[in-house]
Amino acid sequence: MQTKTGLEFQLDSLALEIMGLAPMMPEMNPVHLKSKGDKVSQVLRKVLTPHQLTYVIYEDSILITSLEMATTRQLKQRVNLDVNEVPLHKALRDLGRNYAVNMVVDPRVSKDAQKPVTLQLEGASLETSVRLLAEIAGLKAVRMDNVLFVTTEERAEKIRKEEKEINPPDIGPDGMPLPRVPGRAVSVQRGAPIDGGVGALIGAAVRPAAAPQPQPPERELSPPPPKQ
């Protein structure tokens, strides 16, 4: 497909490893597919869906990743932004088209979405860029699954509460929300160290804390003998 389309494809090795589908595994069955005149997106869905995989536009390439990782990879990627006195709805539309991100502007704030925005960013996440653009226009961007919805602050807060009720976080022994690793059960103890680096992109991989080692009993000190 890369040869025929001229597009660059990448495999999300971390996501595939978590799913037990490490790239180039010899036991994986080869893919057979015939297509004529279909769009690239249609062909990709036919190939990837049976394996619980999908694709996202990621840093000028097409990233093959898991369903659980797709939204995080897409919205947390780093982008450069330079808009000057551009209507908010146009700036959001251009971002959505360039990175194949679902963006919806609340029809009830269409007047505010006409406000011109000016913003220069380098290396900011895509989601942060959208939120800042909305803030400049006096609006809020809230994530609903793989959609960024731009609306008023009041409605955004209502949606956040509803999302928490639908998908409540897992709570650890210390009462704090636990990070989730897609496709893998996580066992967490209080004080467990959290992996940094790439693991932070998926909510951090958590290792169980080492079991406490038994301490030797304290020795009782005898009073010194009286001086002669």
Per-residue pLDDT of 10-37, as tens digits, reads 999 888 888 887 655 555 567 777 777 7
How much is the pLDDT for 136? 96
Per-residue pLDDT of 88-101, as tens digits, reads 999 999 999 988 89
- Residue 228 reports pLDDT greater than 80: no
The pTM for the full model equals 0.65
How much is the pLDDT for 91? 95
- Residue 137 reports pLDDT greater than 50: yes
- Residue 171 reports pLDDT greater than 90: no
Question: Percentage of residues in the chain with pLDDT exceeding 90?
Answer: 42
Query: What domains appear along the chain, each with residue ranges and CATH number?
Result: 2-75 (no CATH), 77-166 (3.55.50.30)
Q: SS in 3 state form for the chain? A: CHHHHCCCEEECHHHHHHCCCCCCCCCCCCCCCCCCCCCHHHHHHHHHHHHCEEEEEECCEEEEEEHHHHHHHHHHCEEEEEEEEEEHHHHHHHHHHHHCCEEEECHHHCCHHHCEEEEEEEEEEHHHHHHHHHHHCCCEEEEECCEEEEECHHHHHHHHHHHHHHCCCCECCCCCECCCCCCCCCCCCCCCCECCHHHHHHCCCECCCCCCCCCCCCCCCCCCCCCC
- Which segment of 4-18, 62-76, 125-139, 183-197 scores lowest on mean pLDDT? 183-197
- Residue 187 reports pLDDT greater than 50: no
